[in-house]
């Protein structure tokens, strides 16, 4: 039986016989869909529908139609996907810069502030065009490159946070520069401690803590560095109750910038996959941060941070009440009710390509049941972003 099926109802297991109007799509015109990336390519190329042969398909499209999400079209979120190519390029550029900066410091050379500043400005421009793009990429890290990518993740969060608080111009620039460099002192921590796959001993932890003082001293010795950037690096492990390090600052001794990066640094560390452990989901990390207020973290700033990144940040995966798995596309408007893209059905164990859902819209019945790790369903975030 031959049937024309809208692209958003196409799943893994369907046999395509024709793609009307797309003779030169750049992918095979006929065959069994086995990889969700093929669906993503067709969507990006503007395919609206395909012709399938039910007799050769391993799944009947009526099963997918029965589970179809009553989606509300959200055309404004196209901006997220439009920004992603530039955001990817910028992320790779920042990663290369981090590597070069560390290598230069190992050789005894100075930090190239011009290059760091230029990258910071590009981060800021990307976030102002669309904050969700870089936020999505923050969650796609290499487990064995945590040192390089953690500072990038923190910088992304800090620019988003600063924007939420109304920062602009040079203030936001210096905030981002400090974030990109805040962990630079780790170059002086022995690698066997830095990358130890397990809990540090007390002597090892003391050595690890020294990186904050090293970061402060390296940046103090860098000509032309602004005080905001220095505060960000020097105070990222200080706590309101004085229990932090390296200076044991407390209360108003910690600048607003220091209080901000304390939140961003912990959040990125908790949600990042490491060689020896998987990262937490957004809600799990937020629970820990809440438990650290008001004694260790600034409670008012944490509320602003939650409003900024959302409980379910862009790029994270959630399970909906109808058994669908979705990836969060935007969470800036309503933290608990983000805009999501449905990609997988837990009931039929099939990939789907549905329209986006704004969970905050009236008439949307689907709700988030829980945050999930994509590995639970063997999903690769890179196939959907």
Evaluate if residue 243 carries a pLDDT over 70.
Answer: yes
Most confident of 10-24, 215-229, 354-368: 215-229
Evaluate if residue 97 carries a pLDDT over 50.
Answer: yes
| pLDDT at residue 62, as a whole number | 44
Answer with the residue of higher pLDDT: 172 or 19.
172
Evaluate if residue 249 carries a pLDDT over 90.
Answer: yes
pLDDT tens-digit profile of 106-154?
888 989 999 999 999 999 999 998 888 898 888 876 655 777 789 999 9
Evaluate if residue 64 carries a pLDDT over 90.
Answer: no
User: Lowest mean pLDDT: which of 49-63, 85-99, 107-121, 154-168?
Assistant: 49-63
Q: What is the 3-state secondary structure (H, E, C) of 149-201?
A: HHHHHHHHHHHHHHHHCCCCHHHHHHHHHHHHHCCHHHHHCCHHHHCCCCCCC
Most confident of 154-168, 185-199, 275-289: 154-168
Q: Is the dihedral of CA 212, 214, 217, 218 positive or negative?
A: negative
Segment 96-101 shows an average pLDDT of 91
Evaluate if residue 66 carries a pLDDT over 50.
Answer: no
Exposed, middle or buried, 115 (CB in 10 Å: 0-12/13-18/19+)?
middle
Pick the CATH number of 76-309 from 3.20.20.70, 1.10.3370.10, 3.40.50.150, 1.10.3210.10: 1.10.3210.10
User: Whole-angstrom Cα distance, residue 107 to residue 100?
Assistant: 11
**Banded pLDDT at 71 (limits 50, 70, 90):** very low
pLDDT tens-digit profile of 254-270?
999 999 999 999 999 99
Residues 6+ apart with CB under 8 A from 85: none
User: Whole-angstrom Cα distance, residue 150 to residue 264?
Assistant: 10
Domain 2-66: assigned CATH number? 3.90.105
Answer with the residue of higher pLDDT: 339 or 50.
339
**Banded pLDDT at 25 (limits 50, 70, 90):** very low
Topology agreement, domain 2-66 and domain 76-309: no
Evaluate if residue 78 carries a pLDDT over 80.
Answer: no
User: Lowest mean pLDDT: which of 19-23, 24-28, 41-45, 340-344?
Assistant: 24-28
pLDDT tens-digit profile of 272-288?
877 667 889 999 999 99
| pLDDT at residue 336, as a whole number | 80
pLDDT tens-digit profile of 284-318?
999 999 999 999 999 999 999 998 898 899 999 99
| pLDDT at residue 28, as a whole number | 52
CA-based nearest residue to 24, from 39, 45, 40, 2 = 45
| pLDDT at residue 218, as a whole number | 94
CA-based nearest residue to 156, from 305, 304, 293, 302 = 305
Domain positions in the chain are 2-66, 76-309, 317-383
Q: Is 350 helix (H, G, I), strand (E, B) or coil?
A: strand
Give one DSSP letter per residue of 41-74, joined into a string: HHHHTT--EEEEETTT-SS-HHHHHHT---PPP-
Contact 172, 257 (CB under 8 A): no
Contact 382, 40 (CB under 8 A): no
| pLDDT at residue 69, as a whole number | 38
| pLDDT at residue 73, as a whole number | 42
Residues 6+ apart with CB under 8 A from 95: 145, 148, 149, 152
Contact 39, 33 (CB under 8 A): yes
Question: DSSP assignment, residue 187?
Answer: G
């Amino acid at each position: 039986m031959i049937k024309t099926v809208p692209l958003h109802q196409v799943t893994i297991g369907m046999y395509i016989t024709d793609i009307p109007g797309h003779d030169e799509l750049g992918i095979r015109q006929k065959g069994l869909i086995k990889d969700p990336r093929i669906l993503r390519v067709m969507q990006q190329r503007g395919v609206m529908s395909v012709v399938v042969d039910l007799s050769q398909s391993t799944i009947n499209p009526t099963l997918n139609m029965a589970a179809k999400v009553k989606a509300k079209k959200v055309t404004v979120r196209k901006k997220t996907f439009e920004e992603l190519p530039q955001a990817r390029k910028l992320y790779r550029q920042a990663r290369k810069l981090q590597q070069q900066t560390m290598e230069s410091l190992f050789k005894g050379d100075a930090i190239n502030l011009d290059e760091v500043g230029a990258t910071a400005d590009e981060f800021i421009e990307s976030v102002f065009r669309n904050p969700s793009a870089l936020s999505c990429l923050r969650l796609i890290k290499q487990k064995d490159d945590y040192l390089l990518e953690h500072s990038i993740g923190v910088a992304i969060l800090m620019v988003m946070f600063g924007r939420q608080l109304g920062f602009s111009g040079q203030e936001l620039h210096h905030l981002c520069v400090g974030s990109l460099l805040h962990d630079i002192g780790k170059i002086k921590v022995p690698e066997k401690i830095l990358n130890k796959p397990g809990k540090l001993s007390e002597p090892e932890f003391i050595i690890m803590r020294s990186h904050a003082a090293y970061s402060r001293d390296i940046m103090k010795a860098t000509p032309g560095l602004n005080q905001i950037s220095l505060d960000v690096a020097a105070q990222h492990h200080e706590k309101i109750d004085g229990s932090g390090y390296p200076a044991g600052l407390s209360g108003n001794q910690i600048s607003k910038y220091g209080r901000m990066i304390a939140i961003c640094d912990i959040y990125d560390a908790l949600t990042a996959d490491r060689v020896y452990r998987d990262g937490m989901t957004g809600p799990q990390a937020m629970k820990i941060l809440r438990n650290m207020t008001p004694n260790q973290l600034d409670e008012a700033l944490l509320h602003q941070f939650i409003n900024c990144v959302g409980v379910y940040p862009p790029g994270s995966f959630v399970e909906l009440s109808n058994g669908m798995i979705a990836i969060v596309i935007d969470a800036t408007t309503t933290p608990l009710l983000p805009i999501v893209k449905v990609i997988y059905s837990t009931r039929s164990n099939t990939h789907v390509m549905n329209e986006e859902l704004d969970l905050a819209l009236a008439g949307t019945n689907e709700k988030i049941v829980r945050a999930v790790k994509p590995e639970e369903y063997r999903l690769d975030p890179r196939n959907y972003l």
